């Protein structure tokens, strides 16, 4: 399953990049399915940095997702591979400077395992909506004046 989404954000690429680079320290929305997000590798983020997420998948089911940064080119590209909760995939962000801010392009590839593969058509609709909402949340947080350390 592949998704490509874009959003324009009225902040410079360096700030949008820093916000996503430091994803473990920015605030989660109250209704976020992400219950825990922590960096498990010491030091500054870069290729090889690992994160662990606990995500609410269903009302009574939580899954763990482990991700590793695979491409780290400040202000241009940020990519990671992830695995867990019955899936694995790749998430790629591209940051393009445009007048007044940044065009953020998100490309995501997902592969479901086991019985989840049977539900891909339903999951696709739900996940596409959730990814759009997440980009809108990122835009809203950044454009509200959230302080980002570059």
Q: Which residues contact 131 (CB under 8 A, 6 or more apart)?
A: 3, 5, 106, 108
Lowest-pLDDT range, 6-20, 30-44, 71-85, 115-129?
115-129
Structure tokens at 87: 């899936």
Coil, helix or strand for 22?
coil
Q: What is the mean pLDDT of residues 72-93?
A: 95
Lowest-pLDDT range, 15-19, 31-35, 55-59, 139-143?
55-59
Average model confidence (pLDDT) for the chain? 91
More confident residue, 119 or 10: 10
Give yes or no for residue 60 having a pLDDT over 90.
Answer: no
Q: What is the mean pLDDT of residues 26-51?
A: 88
The pLDDT value recorded for residue 58 is 67
The pLDDT value recorded for residue 114 is 82
| Selection from 110, 137, 145 nearest residue 23 by Cα | 137
Q: What is the mean pLDDT of residues 145-150?
A: 87
Q: What is the mean pLDDT of residues 81-89?
A: 92
């Amino acid at each position: 399953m592949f998704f490509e989404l874009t959003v324009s954000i009225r902040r410079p690429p360096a700030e949008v990049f820093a916000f996503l680079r430091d994803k473990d320290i920015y605030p989660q929305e109250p209704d976020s399915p992400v219950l825990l997000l922590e960096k498990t590798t010491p030091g500054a983020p870069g290729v090889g940095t690992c994160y662990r997420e606990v995500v609410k998948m269903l009302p009574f089911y939580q899954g763990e997702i482990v991700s590793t940064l695979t491409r780290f080119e400040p202000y241009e590209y940020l990519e990671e591979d992830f695995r867990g909760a019955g899936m694995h995939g790749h998430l790629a962000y591209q940051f393009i400077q445009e007048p007044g801010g940044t065009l953020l392009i998100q490309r995501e590839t997902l592969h479901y395992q086991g019985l989840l593969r049977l539900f891909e058509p339903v999951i696709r609709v739900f996940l596409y909506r959730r990814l759009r909402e997440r980009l809108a949340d990122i835009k809203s947080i950044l454009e509200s004046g959230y302080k980002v350390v570059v």
